[in-house]
Structure 1
Amino acid sequence: MSTTVAKMKVLGVGDASFIVNLSQDKYLDDAKFIIKVDGVTIDGVQTVSAQHGKDEVEQFVIRGDWRSGIHHVDITFLNDLYRPSTDDDRNLYLDSYEYKDENFDLNVRQGRPGTMSFDVQTQTSSSSRSSDGQLVLWMSEDAYLGDAKFNLYIDGEKIGDSYTVTSSHSKGDLQKIVINGDFGSGEHKIGIEFINDLYDHESGKDRNLYLHSAEYDGKTYQVSTEMLNYQTKSFTIENSGAGTTTSGDSGGKLTLWMSEDSFQGDAQFTVYVDGKKFGDTYTVTSSHAKGDLQRFDISGNLGSGEHKIDVNFINDAVGRNSSQDRNLYFQSAEYDGKVYDVSANMYYNQTKSFTVSSSDSADSYNLKSIRAADFHDLIGVNQHANYLDTAYGDKAAFVNALEYLGIGYIRTTASDGDMPFLKTLAAHGIDFDVIVDNNVNKWSDQLANMHELAPHIRTIEGPNEVNFWPVSFNGASGVSGAIATQKAIFEAINNASDLHDIPVVSFSVSASDSSAFKPYANSYEDLGNAHVYFGSTAPADVLAEYGRMPSDSMDDGKNTLITETGYNTGSGSMGVSESVQAKYTLDLVMDVAKQGFAGAILYELADLFDRPGEEGSNWGLFDSDWKAKPAAVGLHNLMTILEDSGSTAASFTTDTFSYDLKGLPQSGNTVVMEKSNGAHDIAVWAEPSLWNSTSRTEIKAATSTVEVDLQHSYGTVKVYDPLISADAINTYHNVDHVQIGVSDHPMIVEVA
């Protein structure tokens, strides 16, 4: 076993725990893995930083509520990398595991993507109590030379081992720690003992523990405490036994996620279910500006069918200026395993109403499949190859990036200066959406170049955003000039024997109101053209509202090619984190398929420069050094999962596929792809709000357990998560249903 513990991290929640000691050989990036206990993934993808060659290990404390007995542990290495010319190699090592102060040496090296496994035998302590109740603590820390730890006491009895907090107080993060137990009716004294305070007088650095709130039996206890030295925070909880009459039976739970702007007091609200008040008045203390969220559990079995929920903001207050305002923010709700994206900003006393339903019933689908190869062809990417002073000056990296993505369709002009590199791309199998330059004086040269590129052109597009960059043609200008130019393009393409089968796409107009498009109405196109951007919002609803607006207004309702769309990762007002860009981009490409668009050309391939504050520089799937952002990795994985190399991949006739989904979140979607070998790939995803533009932080999405009922037994069923890997995260045999966790990006269930 390695001798130095370089870092420790806690995964999962529960009273039982064991420790896994891992290390790595680093090459370019750190080793990544997922860990499963009894087939259940614990807290997603993890990264190891401890260096095996330096005798370091990183300890991962795995928590759960496991019964006594043998539990199977799988650790799957995800991102192996080896360079034969230099013998550089990224590896993952499973050094050992520990349980109840006993160390078990394993010394296993994983030198390629794959899984290392072992079994651990656990014993449930008598002090863990039974699992009939649940105490929830919300904690954070100031870390210094290690994380803050505490002991938990209930009625003087120590519960479990010591607990470790890893969520940063300064970043506004909160860690949820769950303790299961049947504490009996009446009052119970809770003790939180901070056990490893540390302070450096010279540097002023300090390890501290923060208790924010506690929850038990459907009630939230505001017990906020700063624990700056060795001390114990005590408070009392009460088990109400059968519960209040307004909370109903204990068979279900409605959960609300809230935050506030406080002013001369905290925001308060009440909850009504089917017109009946549930619980007392609730008080919110979590700051919206800091990106915090507060959880409120309202217990009750509402029964089958739909139920109307009313959340009433009851104590709005304002001062003399705009900063003096008490507001309530409603982020989302959960009931019976289903997540409802019902966000509302409540700036005055008002009611937010929505409907929940029991997940006992399933949604049935009988969908016409999309060829997987056709899905591939839907997606293209914008680029600026002629910007030689930007990242695009590295043409080799440009080509490598396209090949990595698995995208073979780019948007480009066809000027004389473009042609040498376009021929290089064509030789690599890349096809083009050729956009006619707004300088239509060069139209004849562009047309000649199109003839030369004809076998590699998928679409030909009119000039770009003609309301911003007007075009003139044969004496006509403005709107008339745009239409005259489009007519000339349409007629020339349709009269050319080598081009007439290529769809002509309308010129684009940059607007968000149908009245702005209507003056440009004409019939000189096969496809409409839309530019759709989302800021920091989820794509589905925006795409549905604005994606077809140009075509409906000026192209007789023809299908639409979205020639610009995507998410920015800069620090400006439109920017989101790279993680959010990845999730929303994967949602976006699925929405394009689901909503039946002719395609979408993402904006864009790479960041122009490393300038986070410059909005125009940060739209890339790759950064300005051609390092893949998570969005590029996710697209690569998705395209790999849906790859179909069969000889009839582009021509076979698809069928319809039937299945049921139980527990799909309110913002959930699904679509089916089919491969030429008969495999069906069911995509299931949800699109909750993921970005707090005030605090500029990601909003953690809840995960819903969705049951996929396949209606028949299949020999092999694989589950993929494109954010994790192009390889299956789970494989089942001879099953007719599977369960998947759906949160904020597509999951793929492949049925063979």
Structure 2
Amino acid sequence: MPFGIAALAALLIALPLPGSTARSAPEPAMTTALPTEVFLESIGVVSTFPDRGQPIEETIRMVRFGGFRWVRAGIEGLSENGPTTLATLLRLHRETGVKFSWGLVSGGNDLPRLLRTGRELAGSDALLAFEGLNEPNNWPVTYQGETGGGQDRSWLPVAKLQRDLYTAVKADPLLARYPVWTVSEPGAQTDNVGLQFLEIPPWASTPMPAGTRYADFANVHNYIYHPHSPEPADNKVWNAAAPGPEARVDGLYGNYGRTWRNWFTGYTQARLDALPRVTTETGAAITGTITEEVHGRSLLTLYLAQFRRGYSYTSVYLLRDRTDEAGNQAFGFFRRDYSPRPAALYLHNLTTILADRGRIGRPGRLDYAIANRPETVHELLLQRRDGAFQLVIWGERVRGADHIAITFGQERPAVTIYDPTVGARPLRSLTKVRRVDLTLANHPYVIEIAPRAR
């Protein structure tokens, strides 16, 4: 997987690229930006805590460095006397600002404890959302005396627990405003208990009654590499985030459109396109052709593609490689000795470049067009509180590169270009700009566009 194309691609202004062929350029059109802060808030991570051998001081340092805004966590491993207590997590919140998705995790069934600890997190403004069971196909659950989930049991106990979680959260005056996320891997249902829906529709023939409400958001674990998509390919990350059947990984369609195990009917494609959704696990292992460099560029692109394709929150597995399991699981932003991989360095640069605290009240519109654009080039338009636009544009090519031109409808007074795989400082600062030419291969650029003088 040759990712050795020079990071400092040709950056030319108002001139065609050498050797390029002139094409008719599209006319600039108005595009409404999204608040930069909303994108930054989407950036999450799965982490280990002291009960699994990772000191909280190191966790704080790594979370700060990466610029993560939320952490996936739950009652598993939590105890009154430590080493991981609720105070441990509240310290992480105080010192980094992260919030927590709070879940039953793997096989957990202590709903009263989940709600009690969730109230404490909410009281400290450290709660993001509640999450149902983690992969009940891999970790069955016993609830109200019945064991369910796994590969060969009914999923009714899973469904009843998720229903009761949702009902309890929404009945609590303090917790009702927090969203509830579904169990992960509902596509693995052995019997059709309706977990492929946020609320069971009238036409669904399931043992749980129509109108049963499970969640506010769908929740997937769409890892980039999957048995159905094991090799590097163009648009690898973009396709993993797709809401339709073109996603060859364990994505939205296979869990909420037509379940991947027994093909139970879920939402239509039109409903899937608009379905509120999050990812609580995704990522890639460093192995074979997936080098640390490929891993780093993929994870950087992953947050952008997920957000651009409708995921409100994305959590990548894993902050640091596991040390309490067999072998060294090479998924982490940080190695087991706490040293940063390229993934951590690149994300640090991106969150530093985009840094913004507080949302712009009403994002503006920018008139621009992208000429010579192939299907491997994608963009995300953001806007900071100070009015500056940040056009993040990236390529997803395994080989080769694409030459594109960004044209603005009106001359822009100042444009600054960044490459987060190089650093957090500008590559180039320009004035009186109508056009920017870029060569894109396999990572993003950030083009900061100053607001016009009033």
Query: How far 1:517 moved relative to its partner?
Result: 7.8
Going by fraction, where is helix more abundant, 1 or 2?
2
Instruction: Tell me the equivalent position of 2:140.
Output: 470
Paired with 1:44 and 1:526, the residues of 2 have a C-alpha distance of 41
After superposition, the CA RMSD in angstroms is: 2.8
Paired with 1:633 and 1:623, the residues of 2 have a C-alpha distance of 12
Instruction: Select the residue among 436, 439, 442 that pairs with 1:741.
Output: 439
Query: How far 1:360 moved relative to its partner?
Result: 3.6
Paired with 1:628 and 1:365, the residues of 2 have a C-alpha distance of 40
Instruction: Tell me the equivalent position of 1:685.
Output: 394
Instruction: Select the residue among 374, 398, 403 that pairs with 1:665.
Output: 374
Paired with 2:105 and 2:390, the residues of 1 have a C-alpha distance of 39
Instruction: Tell me the equivalent position of 1:548.
Output: 252
Is residue 578 from structure 1 mapped to residue 292 from structure 2 by the alignment? yes
Paired with 1:517 and 1:604, the residues of 2 have a C-alpha distance of 32
Instruction: Select the residue among 374, 385, 392 that pairs with 2:49.
Output: 385
Instruction: Select the residue among 414, 426, 429 that pairs with 2:93.
Output: 426
Instruction: Select the residue among 165, 174, 178 that pairs with 1:502.
Output: 178
Kindly provide the CA deviation profile for residues 406-463 of structure 1, in whole angstroms up to 9, marking residues without a partner as x: 1120000133344131121121222001111344443222221111111211111001
Paired with 1:430 and 1:514, the residues of 2 have a C-alpha distance of 33
Q: Is the 8 A contact 1:380 1:600 kept in 2?
A: yes
Instruction: Tell me the equivalent position of 1:5.
Output: none
Paired with 1:662 and 1:516, the residues of 2 have a C-alpha distance of 49
Query: How far 1:481 moved relative to its partner?
Result: 0.5
Paired with 1:379 and 1:674, the residues of 2 have a C-alpha distance of 17
Paired with 1:418 and 1:584, the residues of 2 have a C-alpha distance of 34
1:552-567 correspondence runs (5 A)? 552-553=257-258, 557=272, 558-567=275-284
Instruction: Tell me the equivalent position of 1:396.
Output: 57
- Amino acid in the other structure paired with 1:424: R
Query: How far 1:362 moved relative to its partner?
Result: 3.7
- Amino acid in the other structure paired with 1:581: H
Instruction: Tell me the equivalent position of 2:207.
Output: none
- Amino acid in the other structure paired with 1:525: A
From the superposition, tell whether residues 516 and 665 of structure 1 become closer, same or farther in structure 2 (CA, over 3 Å): farther
Paired with 2:368 and 2:136, the residues of 1 have a C-alpha distance of 46
From the superposition, tell whether residues 437 and 582 of structure 1 become closer, same or farther in structure 2 (CA, over 3 Å): closer
Kindly provide the CA deviation profile for residues 43-62 of structure 1, in whole angstroms up to 9, marking residues without a partner as x: 447xxxxxxxxxxxxxxxxx
Q: Is the 8 A contact 1:720 1:730 kept in 2?
A: yes
Q: Is the 8 A contact 2:109 2:141 kept in 1?
A: no
- Amino acid in the other structure paired with 2:174: D
Query: How far 1:365 moved relative to its partner?
Result: 4.9
Instruction: Tell me the equivalent position of 1:528.
Output: 218
1:716-727 correspondence runs (5 A)? 716-727=414-425
- Which secondary structure does the structure 1 equivalent of 2:215 belong to? coil
From the superposition, tell whether residues 336 and 666 of structure 1 become closer, same or farther in structure 2 (CA, over 3 Å): farther
Is residue 653 from structure 1 mapped to residue 372 from structure 2 by the alignment? no
From the superposition, tell whether residues 359 and 579 of structure 1 become closer, same or farther in structure 2 (CA, over 3 Å): farther
Going by fraction, where is strand more abundant, 1 or 2?
1
Paired with 1:594 and 1:365, the residues of 2 have a C-alpha distance of 18
Q: Is the 8 A contact 1:683 1:746 kept in 2?
A: yes
Unaligned runs of 5+ in 2: 9-16, 149-154, 200-213, 226-230, 259-265
Paired with 2:190 and 2:362, the residues of 1 have a C-alpha distance of 41
1:164-175 correspondence runs (5 A)? none
Paired with 2:140 and 2:401, the residues of 1 have a C-alpha distance of 48
- Which secondary structure does the structure 2 equivalent of 1:472 belong to? strand
Q: Is the 8 A contact 1:509 1:517 kept in 2?
A: no
Paired with 2:37 and 2:48, the residues of 1 have a C-alpha distance of 26
Q: Is the 8 A contact 1:379 1:601 kept in 2?
A: yes
From the superposition, tell whether residues 403 and 518 of structure 1 become closer, same or farther in structure 2 (CA, over 3 Å): same
Kindly provide the CA deviation profile for residues 206-227 of structure 1, in whole angstroms up to 9, marking residues without a partner as x: xxxxxxxxxxxxxxxxxxxxxx
Unaligned runs of 5+ in 1: 1-41, 46-251, 254-334, 338-357, 690-700
Q: Is the 8 A contact 1:367 1:671 kept in 2?
A: no
Paired with 1:399 and 1:476, the residues of 2 have a C-alpha distance of 39
Instruction: Tell me the equivalent position of 1:596.
Output: 310
Query: How far 1:376 moved relative to its partner?
Result: 0.4
Q: Is the 8 A contact 2:419 2:444 kept in 1?
A: yes
Length-normalised TM-score, structure 1 = 0.48
Paired with 2:299 and 2:29, the residues of 1 have a C-alpha distance of 25
- Which secondary structure does the structure 2 equivalent of 1:682 belong to? strand
From the superposition, tell whether residues 482 and 510 of structure 1 become closer, same or farther in structure 2 (CA, over 3 Å): closer
Instruction: Tell me the equivalent position of 1:488.
Output: 164
Instruction: Tell me the equivalent position of 2:151.
Output: none
- Which secondary structure does the structure 2 equivalent of 1:733 belong to? strand
Q: Is the 8 A contact 2:52 2:324 kept in 1?
A: no
- Find the structure with the greater CA-based Rg: 1
Instruction: Tell me the equivalent position of 1:714.
Output: 412
Paired with 1:636 and 1:365, the residues of 2 have a C-alpha distance of 32
Query: How far 1:596 moved relative to its partner?
Result: 1.4
Paired with 1:734 and 1:610, the residues of 2 have a C-alpha distance of 56
Q: Is the 8 A contact 2:220 2:252 kept in 1?
A: yes
Query: How far 1:489 moved relative to its partner?
Result: 0.7
From the superposition, tell whether residues 465 and 640 of structure 1 become closer, same or farther in structure 2 (CA, over 3 Å): same
Instruction: Select the residue among 718, 728, 734 that pairs with 2:426.
Output: 728
Q: Is the 8 A contact 2:381 2:391 kept in 1?
A: yes
Query: How far 1:577 moved relative to its partner?
Result: 0.4
From the superposition, tell whether residues 517 and 673 of structure 1 become closer, same or farther in structure 2 (CA, over 3 Å): farther
- Which secondary structure does the structure 2 equivalent of 1:451 belong to? helix
1:384-463 correspondence runs (5 A)? 384-389=48-53, 392=54, 394-414=55-75, 415-416=78-79, 417-428=84-95, 429-454=97-122, 455-463=125-133
Q: Is the 8 A contact 1:578 1:630 kept in 2?
A: yes
Q: Is the 8 A contact 2:50 2:56 kept in 1?
A: no
Q: Is the 8 A contact 1:711 1:736 kept in 2?
A: yes
- Amino acid in the other structure paired with 1:452: E
The count of aligned residue pairs is 381
Q: Is the 8 A contact 1:547 1:562 kept in 2?
A: no
- Which secondary structure does the structure 1 equivalent of 2:380 belong to? strand
Paired with 1:476 and 1:736, the residues of 2 have a C-alpha distance of 66
Paired with 1:510 and 1:532, the residues of 2 have a C-alpha distance of 13
Query: How far 1:541 moved relative to its partner?
Result: 1.2
From the superposition, tell whether residues 666 and 515 of structure 1 become closer, same or farther in structure 2 (CA, over 3 Å): farther
From the superposition, tell whether residues 518 and 497 of structure 1 become closer, same or farther in structure 2 (CA, over 3 Å): closer
From the superposition, tell whether residues 728 and 517 of structure 1 become closer, same or farther in structure 2 (CA, over 3 Å): farther
